[in-house]
Amino acid sequence: IIQRTNNPNTPVELFQQLAKDENSDVRGKVASNPNTPVEVLQQLAKDEDSEVRETVASNPNTPGEALQQLAKDEVSDIRENVARNTNTPAVVLKELAEIVLLDSSLRIRDMHQSVASNPNTPRELMKQLAERWWSMVTEDESKRRSGGATFVPVAIAHNRNTPVEVLQQ
Q: What is the pLDDT of residues 7-40, one digit of tens each?
A: 677 788 999 999 999 999 999 999 999 899 999 9
C-alpha pair distances (Å), 100 with each of 41, 84, 97: 27, 14, 5
Q: What is the pTM of this model?
A: 0.77
Q: Provide the pLDDT for residue 144.
A: 46
